Amino acid sequence: MTTNHRVRRWATAGAGLTLALSLAACGGNVGGGSAEGEDFPGDEPITILVGQDAGGSTDLIARELAEGVSDELGVPVTVENKPGANGALAAQELAGEDADGHTLMVYNGSLAYITPLANEDAPDIADYEIVTGISLDDYVLVTAPDSGFSTVEDLAAAGRPITFGTTGVGTGSQLSQELLFAQADIDATAVPFDGGSPTLTAVLGGQVDVGSIQLGEALEQIEAGELDAIVTFAEERPSFLSDVPTAVEAGYDVPVQQSRAVFAPKDTPDEVLEALRSAFEVAFEDEGYQAFNEENALTANQVDGDEIRETWTSNLDEYRSVVEEFGIDLGGDQ
């Protein structure tokens, strides 16, 4: 067939052309590495990965900060949601990015000190650089007003196994409740949901008896009387919810907090980290950002990377020992 000959001839010609052009290539991006370090951020945009759904607290924090950092550095800063596995997917993606400061992530403390208890494949914070701490968030145990539960004792006296909603496997929401119910000797089944908002909806609708949710996400409903707060899992009563006892006060030793920090891929040059850190510091000073923290019941925790690394590592050790003590299995396959 003549057609075939033609195809072959064209393919040969095409290949020759290709070779010539690839040798002469200059302006393209094929296989080329980009210069890094000296003039960060240049005019390249910055992406902040978020391992949670849009609209959740982590996402809102990232978006709030992205604005300030963008103003300071003069390049666009976009937030990219990559939800799944409590942020492990986003962390995995971050690890594979170029260490040039153009891809960052808002990393949740729970991924560093709780998820490893549930899943040994969880990412290790030693594989990342930490730019700066951001803020702390407390967990609160909530129930629907008509559930008839208002204290931990009520739950123990329910006379049936209770169901509790968690914001996912290996989250602070799960750990806080598992620890509480183990210590209070309550027969309870965990029902994992995908994030704070669906968990909240399930508690509101009475689909599960109780749920542990980050304070900022539940505060509005608690104040409106749509949800009752049973205990908070903070060490001391958070100023945003001062009339609710902490679990520690109720006699259970289960302080669990969510902490957030900005992570960069490992081996990001120091001067880039420094530039980023000062840009975030400027963003933290912004009045709008501080009002945002207030509104969402977030406590500022703008410490440096080393301190974050230290706290999170000791948290992990501590939780590992209590979980072993009570024989709690956070993984779903009990």
Query: Which residues bind to other proteins, rule: CB under 8 A?
Result: 3, 6-7, 10, 14, 17-18, 21-22, 25, 27-31, 53-55, 59, 81-82, 84-86, 88-89, 92, 96, 115, 118-119, 121-122, 161, 163, 168-170, 189-194, 197, 201-202, 204-208, 331-334
Query: Smallest gap, in angstroms, from Cβ of residue 298 to other proteins?
Result: 20
Closer to other proteins by CB, 80 or 307: give it.
80
Report the C-alpha gap between 166 and 162 in whole angstroms.
Answer: 13
Closer to other proteins by CB, 242 or 334: give it.
334
Query: Smallest gap, in angstroms, from Cβ of residue 67 to other proteins?
Result: 16
Closer to other proteins by CB, 131 or 330: give it.
330
Alpha helix (H) ranges present in the chain? 2-24, 57-73, 88-95, 109-113, 115-118, 152-156, 172-183, 196-204, 215-223, 270-285, 287-295, 305-325
Query: Smallest gap, in angstroms, from Cβ of residue 313 to other proteins?
Result: 21
Say if CB 265 and CB 103 are below 8 A apart.
Answer: yes
Report the C-alpha gap between 166 and 285 in whole angstroms.
Answer: 33
Closer to other proteins by CB, 174 or 293: give it.
174
Instruction: State the DSSP string of 212-223.
Output: EEEHHHHHHHHH
Query: Smallest gap, in angstroms, from Cβ of residue 102 to other proteins?
Result: 11
Total Cβ atoms within 10 A of residue 221? 18
Closer to other proteins by CB, 47 or 299: give it.
47
**Which DSSP letter does residue 328 get?**
-
Closer to other proteins by CB, 119 or 299: give it.
119
Closer to other proteins by CB, 86 or 301: give it.
86
Report the C-alpha gap between 318 and 323 in whole angstroms.
Answer: 9
Query: Smallest gap, in angstroms, from Cβ of residue 40 to other proteins?
Result: 18
Residues in a beta bridge with 264: 129
What 309-312 contacts at long range (C-beta under 8 Å, 24+ apart), as own/partner pairs, is 309/125, 309/130, 311/259, 312/109, 312/112, 312/113, 312/125, 312/259
Q: Using N-to-C axis directions, what is the helix angle for 172-183 and 305-325, rounded to 10°?
A: 40
**Which DSSP letter does residue 32 get?**
P
Query: Smallest gap, in angstroms, from Cβ of residue 256 to other proteins?
Result: 18
Query: Smallest gap, in angstroms, from Cβ of residue 85 to other proteins?
Result: 5
Query: Smallest gap, in angstroms, from Cβ of residue 289 to other proteins?
Result: 21
Closer to other proteins by CB, 53 or 307: give it.
53
**Which DSSP letter does residue 34 get?**
P
